[in-house]
Structure 1
């Protein structure tokens, strides 16, 4: 029999994951977190909707948590109607924390859930909404091997690369490391392409040249053609989430006395971009700091005017 799967957080990643599971014949139970629209869409596809995490747990063998940050994970688990409410659980339950939170946070939450008889994995993902839609995510799993084993086939529906990294929290360690790289790489790419554009180069040819040289990377090959090179920053992976992940990396580094010079600078750039109102745009919108300062548009090579610089609460030009 296929496992009964609960999903809490059916946003940009959770929604396509729920769709894949439904398509493969899994029983999927969901509940509202922030946005009710995906709930209605998934109900039409056959998902069972309940009112709170406790009810999700009551109808599930495994619950996937995909909410933005540690406080929301805490509330989902231990809130008044959280999934850890004992009266709702008459069967074995495994909770999989797929949110990107600090390794220490997932270990603390995991230990408390385990004390209540709930098995726990942490399994943050990489690939964004595009790879979630194709079922091609990388899933970085931390936790005991015997906890993971019964759920391997379920996770295989969601990702093509499932890597067991070690004990609980080690999935989060890998995800923090990944996002330190892409969070520092994106501003570098923005800087390079802004300079190349300002110098009059054909930026697509520059991108192609680098993509087939030693500077090649996933963002340059796959992400930028859909975002910066189209001057399109809607959807994707929210800049505010990247800023949150960089702050997790910095707090972790501070706790361990590890210098994080590049990550610190990148966090400052993303903080400024957040302050200018780009927080809900794709994190490639950090490039607007460079494009606006240089008064050039990477996608077109044309001048970028001040009336394109919009603040969060302001519909006119930033003067």
Structure 2
């Protein structure tokens, strides 16, 4: 379907939403965009034909929601975003609890709209380049209608099952990713204390079986470089891991690593790092462990005594 026949709107123009909106605009799909924070709206580079009103977004055939979470989506529904023509497709790009997602989908369905949950990975750089990976849950028919829009913002689309499947996979994905980040930080801190320069330690990781996206990109690009500009806050990681731990528990899934990572990130948040870039967890790692309620070495020592 052509851009002329399928107009999209987006709510949320932060680190992720801004790049998504600009890509859709360049492709000719974007008809409307809105953000509750005027500076975010004004910072987004969009063509003159894009309406910058929430009411205009509500009239679009495909509506992307790039807001912090389900609470914000619910508030938007309460404020009139559900009011509009039948047959629309809402695309929930948040990281959210699948139960909350299914409740929102039911509200959309009652209003004559379809609902897709679409967990994102690729970060702000992927959003800016239009090369996100999306983990999708919902009806195949709704995905087919929205696919031309989604293909402008993502390089890969994974339809994983019914509503909630995309957000469940995103929580599992983030748990793994953030835990690997913390494990890599711990190992590299130890290597540095043993006299190995950080950049050399990272080179070794990337030449061996411990390599990961974290070692291949996060450390060289944002930590070894000294820029500390991963473009996501510690608070976001803490929120994701707390939610993952809760959902895993509800599923009856034993979760040592989800709980561990959630505790460490919450400790960093309590130390005042909530609004700091998450890559700063590396230089602050020892301080975070020192403030943790259950440092692992202390627990090990107590068992030996």
How many residues are aligned here?
Answer: 286
Q: Alpha-carbon deviation of 1:235?
A: 5.1
8 Å CA contact 1:61–1:92 kept in 2: the answer is yes
Q: Provide the residue aligned with 1:308 in structure 2.
A: none
Q: Alpha-carbon deviation of 1:233?
A: 2.8
Q: Does 1:212 align with 2:210?
A: no
How far apart, CA to CA, are the structure 1 residues paired with 2:235 and 2:260?
A: 16
8 Å CA contact 1:183–1:242 kept in 2: the answer is yes
- 1:212-251 aligned at under 5 Å gives the runs 212-234=207-229, 236-251=231-246
- What secondary structure, in the 3-state scheme, does the structure 2 residue paired with 1:63 have? strand
- Kindly tell me: are residues 262 and 207 of structure 1, through their superposed partners in 2, closer, same or farther at Cα, counting changes over 3 Å? same
8 Å CA contact 2:14–2:40 kept in 1: the answer is yes
- 1:292-307 aligned at under 5 Å gives the runs 292=287
8 Å CA contact 1:194–1:294 kept in 2: the answer is no
TM norm structure 1: 0.84
- 1:114-263 aligned at under 5 Å gives the runs 114-234=109-229, 236-263=231-258
Q: Provide the residue aligned with 2:15 in structure 1.
A: 12
How far apart, CA to CA, are the structure 1 residues paired with 2:107 and 2:65?
A: 16
| Stretches of 4+ aligned residues off by more than 6 angstroms | none
How far apart, CA to CA, are the structure 2 residues paired with 1:204 and 1:216?
A: 14
Q: Provide the residue aligned with 1:67 in structure 2.
A: 67
Q: Alpha-carbon deviation of 1:90?
A: 3.1
8 Å CA contact 2:94–2:119 kept in 1: the answer is yes
Instruction: Specify every segment of 5 or more residues in structure 1 that has no aligned partner in the other structure, as ranges.
Output: 296-319
- C-alpha root-mean-square deviation of aligned residues, in Å? 1.9
How far apart, CA to CA, are the structure 2 residues paired with 1:182 and 1:169?
A: 20
Q: Does 1:94 align with 2:92?
A: no
Q: Provide the residue aligned with 1:278 in structure 2.
A: 273
Deviations 1:151-170 (A, max 9, x none): 11211110101111111111
Greater CA deviation, 267-276 or 173-182? Answer: 267-276
- What secondary structure, in the 3-state scheme, does the structure 2 residue paired with 1:139 have? strand
Q: Provide the residue aligned with 2:293 in structure 1.
A: none
Q: Does 1:76 align with 2:76?
A: yes
Larger helix proportion of the pair: 2
Q: Alpha-carbon deviation of 1:294?
A: 9.8
8 Å CA contact 1:57–1:93 kept in 2: the answer is no
How far apart, CA to CA, are the structure 1 residues paired with 2:111 and 2:289?
A: 56
Q: Alpha-carbon deviation of 1:41?
A: 3.6
- What secondary structure, in the 3-state scheme, does the structure 1 residue paired with 2:257 have? helix
Q: Alpha-carbon deviation of 1:91?
A: 4.4
- What secondary structure, in the 3-state scheme, does the structure 1 residue paired with 2:272 have? coil
TM norm structure 2: 0.88
